[in-house]
Structure 1
């Protein structure tokens, strides 16, 4: 009965009908005001969330690595690094996700073309998209034995005459490290002596090309100090045939010495999956179960070359 009376009162004339209509209108206006307040609050929350996200992203640049280092970490958080020979780009991904490097300071490259990577490594497209979204520069078809050409760093005669430097990073900063993880030609030569010589030729070219890249990219500071020098990093498995490659001798012959070396600790890079050069298969023994070492090469100083007692620095 009450519902029926209310329905009729809206249409009724006189004071009673006017009062009912006024109450309904007042209720509608109140609801409109509440909706507007809710919408405004949602906008404020969204804006606050965006600011927090931006602040969090900035703070991430100062965060400590998520995984405690047990092995050698070859570079610092703000260093600029060029990775050579990335397979499925999982090492580059791990460096960023573990906060070892600022994304904008990392350039990750592959020997394979984009199409070859997609055909060879499952889910690599997802990894590449993630790296690019985070700010990592990704380049394909980069050859460790021909870095200036395949990185598109070759200058014309006019540029060389003016001592122009190539811009590799957005801020035009100097390149601190070039790193090549577990170099391999992928040829699968069964004769061990030939296999060793083949990899020695690869490493000789790698050192020569790294030195050329540093000269092209890096600049001297205003005080005239030579800051064109960068450091070269190699990671290798322990034992044979890698020991017979003689990387320390190759380094010295190309003007570099081992500044430091230390254990390659797989647990520091949980996203990293070591792959064979020519397939997605792991090696006979899973890589994470194999002992490996990181070598950091610095340009040889003339005074040190005269010091016969100088020894390479090793740390575990």
Structure 2
């Protein structure tokens, strides 16, 4: 059995080694930031208490408890969402059953063909049928790394100006969501496992960029056609759900997202009770993971698009200013 590296990934060259080093640095910075935040919060609470603000703090704590009780849903009912890597479609089934989203606003996809799904997952026929009857658009054989081709979003030469639509009303796509991405290959080599999943997540971000560029950044003209638009408000967001701990921490998803122009907008604990119909399965079998998923801590990350060149330039100027102050 290979010895776990816990994110150090020593002796590796190129991108993966750089990613691993960034992961270690990110963990260290995160711990310092949390410590500082806790100290600030403690100081603020103490001052508020001295000013007679105990009631305000009490109400704030009550709101936080209510939020934790209700669970975190990463999208609103009216948002348009594309789910990839759905497996047995139990997550799609759950968010429809709980009325977190309107059925016509959801597109649920699987990597497997319909026949492969039927052979792999019990009751998937009933689940898919129920989703379709409710108004959900279900598509099979969709590769999260090549969604443009899988979803047939590439315009034909005769219709280059035509808007490539995912929804019947030409609506923009708000979110693309991938729950617990996995290659489906079981590997004992920890470093190779991390490397393969970094490539998977990186490919997902790249594919999301391509989909948003095609589906969202187009507007209707006066001739009932569609032309390109640079309206940044049309840019959608990327959702990624991951288990806590290793090897997932070593994937460095924040760094991978940033390399494709995405940064974390917000994140929250994945609240299993909020999705009672959802059953996380192994990618390559009907069995659950070694430990039942609902007993494992996980998080939902929402990434938003940002101007990477501008952010890098600001960081460069900040470092230059720090160097000047030191001198």
Report the TM-score range of the alignment, normalised by the length of the smaller protein: 0.7 to 0.9
The corresponding residue for 2:300 is 294
Q: Is residue 145–residue 200 contact of structure 2 (8 Å, CA) maintained in 1?
A: yes
Residue 200 of structure 1 pairs with residue 198 of structure 2: yes
The corresponding residue for 1:99 is 99
1:210 and 1:159 map into 2 onto residues whose CA distance is: 22
Q: Is residue 217–residue 235 contact of structure 2 (8 Å, CA) maintained in 1?
A: no
Residue 241 of structure 1 pairs with residue 239 of structure 2: no
Report how far residue 215 of structure 1 moved. Answer: 1.1
**Secondary structure of 2:240 counterpart:** strand
Residues 216-245 of structure 1 show CA distances to partners (whole Å, capped at 9, x for unaligned) of 111456897333311000000000000000
Give the alignment partner of residue 253 of structure 1, picking from 247, 254, 259.
Answer: 259
1:110 and 1:227 map into 2 onto residues whose CA distance is: 28
**Secondary structure of 1:258 counterpart:** strand
Report how far residue 307 of structure 1 moved. Answer: 4.7
Residue 184 of structure 1 pairs with residue 182 of structure 2: yes
The corresponding residue for 1:228 is 234
Q: What does 1:161-180 correspond to in 2, within 5 Å?
A: 162=161, 164-180=162-178
Q: Is residue 88–residue 121 contact of structure 2 (8 Å, CA) maintained in 1?
A: yes
Report how far residue 170 of structure 1 moved. Answer: 1.4
1:261 and 1:72 map into 2 onto residues whose CA distance is: 9
Q: Is residue 217–residue 230 contact of structure 2 (8 Å, CA) maintained in 1?
A: no
Residues 10-41 of structure 1 show CA distances to partners (whole Å, capped at 9, x for unaligned) of xxxxxxxxxxxxxxxxxxxxxxxxxxxxxxxx
Aligned alpha-carbon RMSD (Å): 1.9
Q: Is residue 163–residue 218 contact of structure 2 (8 Å, CA) maintained in 1?
A: no
The corresponding residue for 2:35 is none
**Secondary structure of 2:242 counterpart:** strand
Q: Is residue 165–residue 219 contact of structure 1 (8 Å, CA) maintained in 2?
A: no
Residues 116-166 of structure 1 show CA distances to partners (whole Å, capped at 9, x for unaligned) of 000000000000110000000000000011110011111123433x3x221
2:115 and 2:231 map into 1 onto residues whose CA distance is: 43
Distance 1:224 1:246, change over 3 A: closer
The corresponding residue for 1:59 is none
Distance 1:305 1:261, change over 3 A: farther
Q: Is residue 221–residue 227 contact of structure 1 (8 Å, CA) maintained in 2?
A: no
Report how far residue 110 of structure 1 moved. Answer: 0.2
The corresponding residue for 2:289 is 283
Q: What is the TM-score with the length of structure 2 in the denominator? A: 0.70
List alignment gaps of at least 5 residues for structure 2: 1-66, 221-228, 319-327
Q: Is residue 109–residue 139 contact of structure 1 (8 Å, CA) maintained in 2?
A: yes
1:166 and 1:89 map into 2 onto residues whose CA distance is: 25
**Secondary structure of 1:227 counterpart:** helix
Q: Is residue 179–residue 232 contact of structure 1 (8 Å, CA) maintained in 2?
A: yes
**Secondary structure of 2:234 counterpart:** coil
Report how far residue 294 of structure 1 moved. Answer: 0.3
Report how far residue 68 of structure 1 moved. Answer: 8.4
2:210 and 2:175 map into 1 onto residues whose CA distance is: 13
In the alignment of these two chains, the number of paired residues is 241
The corresponding residue for 2:3 is none
1:265 and 1:144 map into 2 onto residues whose CA distance is: 24
List alignment gaps of at least 5 residues for structure 1: 1-66, 310-316
The corresponding residue for 1:71 is 71
The corresponding residue for 2:144 is 144
